[in-house]
Structure 1
């Protein structure tokens, strides 16, 4: 009976959600249907159709927070006439259409970042509408939604697992034909249709009042007794690190920027979430008072760290957003320190504003990054006397390797993130292929876009001929370290391998029979096989034989990871290797 009552209540809430947010749920459902179509029939469509479906799904997904914001606005201002609501909804539809045709005309980094920024802005707007501007208990409202989202995630996972188990049982026990894609389709249906309906069913109405007593107990325990102590410990660690840097007079590394930024953002979210508890808890009151002051020196050091990176490599979209988020965090912390009567609605309001402005206008991340990289490119060209009549010309002398790498990095940045037409001083007929004609050296992708190539040969699937050899060893696949590993004990024959310089040593009865660095042989194998399809590899491509008066060995490469330098093709770095060693002792 209780189960039926809970089920009835669930269905009633879902119906209320559908009735309250029909347009919002229609957008999420339509988006989900298109994604399911893409999952199941993408291979049947041509590239233009796939591109159109993806952009349509993106636009419809954007309609979810937009329609949600309007629905919440209509709840708050309930004296809108029906015709006014229709006009507003039609205006929203027109905005989505304009976004589709003018801001999604090409899917690239620029459109992706802008799309994410607009989405975040709209979701933040939806969260604020019921509480702009001086309404109390905004924090409890957000905590309530966060708790509902957590419950929604649990329900969604359980529903999917139950559905997947049912499909699996029908397939295995009853022999019904089931497409492998049905599991993905089911997952999308759960998170795209059920989850939004269930989440919105628990969204408080404008008339609903929230009280501190409603604060979720599990979240209270998590924040007060786990998260806040961890943040305090992390703060001590960061201060210890910065004090160490000051003592040795060394600038912080680039990684520090991200560590401080995300630590500050998470800490600010915690301060926001615990605000309703500050009246009755001294630990919360002390933490909320001290942290905005303690974080200021760390944020200043973070700006020094990111400033060093920008001075060396210029501004990119990633660095722009790190600086922007840092400025926002610094501003909010100053707000907490200077304003007595704080309104936490300022957090999402200010964040939504700067996120929106960061992707539109001459101050946007794209405009600033393009200008910065163009300025850096210009400095490199002038330094090497490579500009004549506002065009790139070959340098009559030689260009050092670092400048070549920097020029390649900038060209790679524009090629991958923007357009080469936006890079100044390039001739109209410049292409990647004819770069040597204008620069005097060929184009090589920057290392960020040419990462280590890992080769797994899977030779364990095929028989290995080891006739003629007495012993067999495997050298495991580790990254090189400065130590030697004895790979065999309790036997007269021992094999010692130095993972730092790839030196292999074979001893028998404490007598060294063989000692050699395998670095050059492994490097030659890497050059030979790195671009070959596995099906085209012959056994001799990944093996070599060596011998001396005492021993004959056969080395077989089983796994291999390395990198060839973009500029100097002869410079190969081997990062990891797994070897098989076959040994034949001579009489």
Structure 2
């Protein structure tokens, strides 16, 4: 009977969530429909519609939370819902005007989603008996319960479909994707919202006491810290964080006058440490045991100097490296972490919601021109490039003058800034930079020297990998090419040798694609019927460029554009798209696609 009662309560909770968030339900149905079209039509790109509906769903949730907290009239609710629709439409038309859903638009969308989630957590605690810590705990619990249920249901339904496919009749492989689309697009968010209690609001001021008591019981249950979670935080997570902190402090103290200011690997480590301390502090704010109290007293004060030093180190690197959008966010987060440490150290626990307000403000700053991450980084990189060119007499009357006789440091700066501008699709807006600047020969013809990278790039680092993200780039554009060849490059040959030789027939003429490998070079060579060389593609140089692109992504896999390198001459245009490339023990190992066009 208890099981039946529990299931009935869960079902009633889902129905109540649907009734409570009708506009959200509309956007979720739209999201599921878009996903269905993406599954059925793999060639079409519906990402702009998908992200617009996701933003709309979050805006409508925030609107409902705001209504319940501060308003009572139906007309006010309709106005808030209308504002959500208007903002969603504004977002859609903003991204629709962009030619592609690029890194800039994707990052801004991600920051917007994060900010809306913060608003969702913050609103119930504004001028309320409910604290931000309690609201955060409610969302934290709901999230992990939703993940667990969603995973179990997904595995169960997939197993059922597999059994039907194997034992009864064949199913289209897309059936699995359609079922999971329903689970993730509809069930998961609605199930999550069913755990969101109706927090005390303006409408409850004149309510019936019995109903208010029932409501507060539901709220208390939602924000309560489970005993097991309390034990996990107090006796496992906090001690582990303490040990990690001692190690970081020891490193900072021992290297404060040396490596600390130049060690790029430490930067993500300290950012992750700051995130961990902030999350643990908020979760521990609902606990009153000795470990939790001690953590709240000591760790925010330790956080401040660590993050402050790292933020200063990141700012100092701007002079040499310039500002990229990634460094912008690292510095902005560092400032936020320092503010969070101050709030945790000198303000009462009830004021923890201030950090959410700061996060929301910082998120808005980072995506709204002219001080957003991308405008600042674009202008900074352009100015750094222009100043470097001007100092070397390479920019006259709006045109670049090639000059090979400049310092290696300036060559690296020019290569790095042009690479960043190219990766962010900013070159089209710069009149004095040529399009396709990294295509074969263009860079050297423009600046007078080959691309020059830091010593930590390929050739110095003995273990690197890069992979093409097929989920992000499910199709390849073969327009204007005559042939596509799948080729495996084995760089472990010890002597000079022509490896794979692939015969090709294009327009009734015979060609051969040769793979020439030795300890120093890797070339793809196309020859004609008389064995005359038409083009020699430097694959090693291409792999270096691809590894450089991989580093810019900071852990993400490559898109098709980032995995593509092109060389051409008067006779042939050849491009490679790298499926994966590994560099180990001074050797390359790569699986790639070669595209050939005879001019």
Please tell me the TM-score bracket, short chain as reference: 0.7 to 0.9
Candidates 411, 425, 428, aligned match of 1:404: 411
CA distance in 1, matches of 2:115, 2:588: 49
Candidates 117, 141, 148, aligned match of 1:123: 117
CA distance in 1, matches of 2:545, 2:48: 35
5 Å-filtered alignment, 1:100-499, equals 100-106=92-98, 107-174=101-168, 176-207=169-200, 208-209=215-216, 210-211=219-220, 214-246=224-256, 251-278=261-288, 281-340=289-348, 342-395=350-403, 398-423=405-430, 426=432, 434-441=442-449
User: TM-score, with normalisation over the residues of structure 1?
Assistant: 0.73
CA distance in 1, matches of 2:465, 2:199: 56
Following superposition, the deviation at residue 316 of structure 1 comes to 0.3
CA distance in 2, matches of 1:538, 1:392: 36
CA offsets 1:27-60 (integer angstroms, 9 cap, x no match): 12220221122123224xxxxxx23x22111111
CA distance in 2, matches of 1:333, 1:10: 39
* Structure 1 segments unaligned to the other structure (5+ residues): 44-49, 456-517, 545-559, 580-587
CA distance in 2, matches of 1:532, 1:17: 63
Following superposition, the deviation at residue 290 of structure 1 comes to 0.9
* Structure 2 segments unaligned to the other structure (5+ residues): 201-214, 468-489, 505-510, 520-538, 547-581, 590-599
Contact 2:59 2:84 in 1 (8 A): yes
SS at match of 1:394: coil
Contact 2:402 2:448 in 1 (8 A): yes
CA distance in 2, matches of 1:58, 1:200: 19
CA distance in 1, matches of 2:384, 2:104: 20
Partner residue in 2 for 1:58: 51
Contact 1:152 1:198 in 2 (8 A): yes
Contact 1:453 1:563 in 2 (8 A): no
CA distance in 2, matches of 1:329, 1:445: 33
Following superposition, the deviation at residue 249 of structure 1 comes to 7.3
CA distance in 1, matches of 2:284, 2:423: 43
CA offsets 1:115-151 (integer angstroms, 9 cap, x no match): 1111111121122222213534331222122112111
CA distance in 2, matches of 1:233, 1:575: 35
Following superposition, the deviation at residue 443 of structure 1 comes to 6.6
Partner residue in 2 for 1:465: none
Following superposition, the deviation at residue 204 of structure 1 comes to 1.1
Which structure has the greater CA radius of gyration? 1
SS at match of 2:351: coil
CA distance in 1, matches of 2:491, 2:48: 49
Partner residue in 1 for 2:86: 94
**Residue correspondences, number:** 483
Contact 2:493 2:518 in 1 (8 A): no
CA distance in 1, matches of 2:130, 2:375: 39
User: TM-score, with normalisation over the residues of structure 2?
Assistant: 0.72
CA distance in 1, matches of 2:515, 2:443: 37
